[in-house]
Amino acid sequence: MFNWYVGLLAISGIVMLALAALKQGQSTVSRSINGIFGAVYLGYAIYLAFFFDGGSYLIFFQAFLLPVLMVVNFFRNRTPRTKLTDTQKAWREFQRTDQAR
């Protein structure tokens, strides 16, 4: 169980660092969060794998929600938003003013 946890931490950290390196479709805040948490996850995995001498440790599987959410956020933001044509803009404006009456 310990080896699985360390492996998942390392994979999560590497994925988040890779997402932070990509500039496409992400805000600066999102890239910063990916970079910071990716470094923390990878650093903690390295600590547990190479420097941890044993004893008690806590396993937080909830920690793996953040990488999943960041990957989902990355791909959701990469989807191009459709731009409205002039006719569609005029129709929406007409609907708004018609409903206001």
Domain parsing of the chain, residue ranges: 2-100
Q: Does position 101 have pLDDT exceeding 70, yes or no?
A: no
Q: How many residues does the chain have?
A: 101
**Mean per-residue pLDDT over the chain, rounded:** 87
Predicted confidence at residue 83, as pLDDT, reads 84
Higher pLDDT, 74 or 50: 50
- Tens of pLDDT along 29-43? 989 999 999 999 999
Q: Distance between CA atoms of 71 and 18, rounded to whole angstroms? A: 10
Average pLDDT score over residue span 81-101 = 83
- Gyration radius of the chain over CA positions: 21
65-78 and 2-21 helices cross at what angle (nearest 10)? Answer: 30
Neighbours of 67 (CB within 10 A): 22
